[in-house]
Structure 1
Amino acid sequence: MGRLRTYFLTGVVVAAPIGITIWLTWWFVSLFDTWIKPFVPAKYNPDTYLPVPIPGFGLVVALIVITLIGALAANLFGRTIISYWEHFLNRMPVVRNVYKALKQIFQTALSQSQSSFRQVGVIQYPRKGLYALVFISRDAHGEIVDRSADGELVSVFLPTTPNPTSGFLLFVPKRDIAVLDMSVEDAAKLIISAGLVLPDEHAGDAPAPEQVPALTEEQVRRLTEDGSSKDAAE
């Protein structure tokens, strides 16, 4: 029974990540197919000619459309259209706030010039003596720093376990942050696994094997007297 239990747990460790990855990939592809395929004309849709649906066609169409929109927005004509569109949205009380917030989030997340979430640090949270991992974003500026009595502040993201996409935005004095050499990916693994998956540089660490004590001269003499060879005793 102990061996069967070991086999079962090993199978779970191997099969669960593979199964979840395949399920998430299939869900992502099917989501785009559900959204995009109804807008594709029937003569351009391969499902019209083939006996089985082609998974991923909607995702390919979405990637092509997004690329074309980006190419259009890179020239003067496209920027003019976008400016009129934004001017129209700015006249709508609720929609303009949602649009501005989403636009700022995507610009910050996708901008290559930003250095957000490239460092991992440790702060004392929620009280002194307890330590928590944080993702360091950037130095704080403006009114937040002007009204603070702690001087230079850094904005950090404190993720929650096991879902690192949710958490808290904190402004911490720079002197209270200990920057780690750990990568963001290793920190995310540590948070998701609730501390079970250590960073790669420590994952292979294991307790040192116990040293076998050397035989004393008395033990060697007894082994020799019992008929054991001296070489075996040594």
Structure 2
Amino acid sequence: MTVPEPSGRPRAGLPPVRCLGRVEDGERLHSLLWRLGDGWRAVSSAVLGGGIGERAWVLNAQVAHGYRRVDPDRHMADLARRAGLCGPGVGLMTAADVRARGAARDGGVEAVATAGLGVRGWAASPAEGAAVALPAGTINIVALVPVPLTDAALVNAVATATEAKVQALLDAGFDCSGTPTDAVCVAAPSPRAGEEVHAFAGPRSLWGARLARAVHRAVRDAAGT
């Protein structure tokens, strides 16, 4: 029996992640950098470059514990310039040491997670929400999907990655759904003429299932289990 190939041929050569170092206020800090280049779209909840749009890079930057700046978007833009980045990109931040990242691949999908779990809890809480940015503790997830996705599928991918994160935390023995400042970024190639654009990224779709498994393993690794 011939097994059909999955529809939509993945693009080869997903960009590798690089680890950068810097000294800020006398402290040695690190960042993870993906240089996507032209031809990528991303959906993100990041402080810089959030939303959906063309993005040329992703930077996950470690900041000091007790971070108190009230202009994280400007701070991230400064860090991007210092890293030699230009054009639109995504900037995430965390107080976790990003060198202790978790990473996983599944069927062409790649996911990297950094986990600061010092301040964690359940999403649905009786506590009143804050009107200002909270200190950066943060589980950050960056995932690369090698096929074009519609806007709806990109949003669906964020939900899938978040579900997989919560599943990983529970499997790792944490009694929480995350931290108050978790962020996610999912990047996929921009559509080309005549190329299939995938409309689904839920956990039982072809690419959503791969994304969920990769994120689950990356988060478990980052959480130390």
- Could you tell me the TM-score, scaled by structure 2's length? 0.21
- Could you tell me the TM-score, scaled by structure 1's length? 0.20
- Structure that is richer in helix per residue: 1
- Structure that is richer in strand per residue: 2
Bigger Rg, structure 1 or 2: 1
Higher relative contact order (CA 8 A, sep 6+): 2
